[in-house]
Chains A and B, each alone.
Chain A
Amino acid sequence: MSTAATPFVHEQFEDIEQQRGAAQLGMWIFLATEVLFFGGLFLAYTVYRSLYPQTFAAASHHTEVILGGANTAILLFSSTLMAFAVRAAELRNCKQLVWLLLGTALLGVVFMCVKGFEYHKDFVEHLVPGSHFEWHEANRSHAEIFFWLYFAMTGLHAIHVIVGIFVLLTLAVLARLGKFTAGHHTPVEVAGLYWHFVDIVWIFLFPLMYLAGHR
């Protein structure tokens, strides 16, 4: 990658604008695929919640709403930092960019720690589906479906968060090495789109998992 004043244009592109436009479109198309990837799980959730509304509500009471709510706030704030990071990259503010990327990644790590704590609590309370699943209210099997979906959806989301953290850390290192000082900030922009998408998924997961039944 060139460290000169002009940004680097890959040879298949005519100019930097075509390259940037292609990268943005490419990432949005990828995000559309992610909508459908998660969408299958959301469909399963919708079907079973409409079939078993009472049990889903009851099962939802066993989730840690305070931790879930805190995690939502953490992700929303991390998205804010990410938006500022993209801005810093565009303004060629290298130092700010590095700190903002690290800050976003750190919030992602905090999210994962809270999630890990939650999962541990669920395990201890025998809410993990399988032979050790315990349910002392009505419709044990339907509650098991709820928790299967809970672990599948938050688990898949968590995998995406972890990938995002690695991407952000990589970008932070590259930023530290001065790769984004020449006006070529598309990787940061595109990573930002991914991170915001991960946030949006959680925005929907939170009420569906934690607030399925009023408390």
Chain B
Amino acid sequence: MMETTTHSPSVYWKTCAALMALLALTWGFGYVNMGPFNLVVALAISISKALLVALFFMHIKGSSRLLHLAATAGVIWLLILFTFTLGDYFSRNFLQPTSNHKVPPEQFHGAP
């Protein structure tokens, strides 16, 4: 099956411009204190940049379903790795005995 051919130059230049704009956004938000949302916003912007590179520079847009699958498989498997491992870490202290002692935020030192 014939895979897609390359795009016109304007598509590439527009993608480049969008990427640079997103980079500026990343930078800008880095100087704003949004607490835990800093990470969410930063990742959202990074994912957008990655999608732009994948769709237009790597020609995923317009390519076969098989290549779409191959492109996403790594990410899906990474999510499996992340989900189960972080699930372990975040559920380790569910049954922490209640105490009056206020612990500082970084009280967990790896394996008990």
Contact = CB atoms under 8 A, between A and B. Distances in A.
A and B touch in the complex (CB under 8 A): yes
Interface of A: 17, 20-21, 24-25, 28-29, 31-36, 39-40, 42-43, 46-47, 50-55, 65, 69, 72-73, 76-77, 79-80, 82-84, 86-87, 90, 139, 142, 192-193, 196-197, 199-200, 203-204, 206-208, 210-211, 214-215
Interface of B is mostly: helix
Give the size range of B's interface with the partner: 35 or more
B94 interface: no
Interface of B: 1-3, 5-7, 9, 12-13, 15-16, 19-20, 23, 26-27, 29-34, 38, 42-43, 45-46, 49-50, 53-54, 56-58, 63, 66-67, 70-71, 73-75, 77-78, 81-82, 85-86, 89-90, 105-106, 108, 110
Contact of A193 (B12, B26, B58, B86): B58
A54 B105 contact: yes
Contacts of A90: 5-6
B45 A28 contact: no
9 contacts: A21-B1, A32-B70, A35-B74, A39-B77, A40-B81, A51-B108, A80-B15, A203-B50, A207-B43
A73 B42 contact: no
Given A33-B74, A80-B15, A199 B81 contact: no
A88 B2 CA distance: 19
Given A25-B67, A69-B23, A79-B53, 18 more contacts: A25-B66, A35-B74, A36-B81, A39-B77, A42-B78, A43-B81, A51-B89, A51-B108, A65-B30, A73-B23, A77-B16, A79-B57, A196-B53, A196-B57, A211-B42, A214-B33, A214-B34, A215-B30
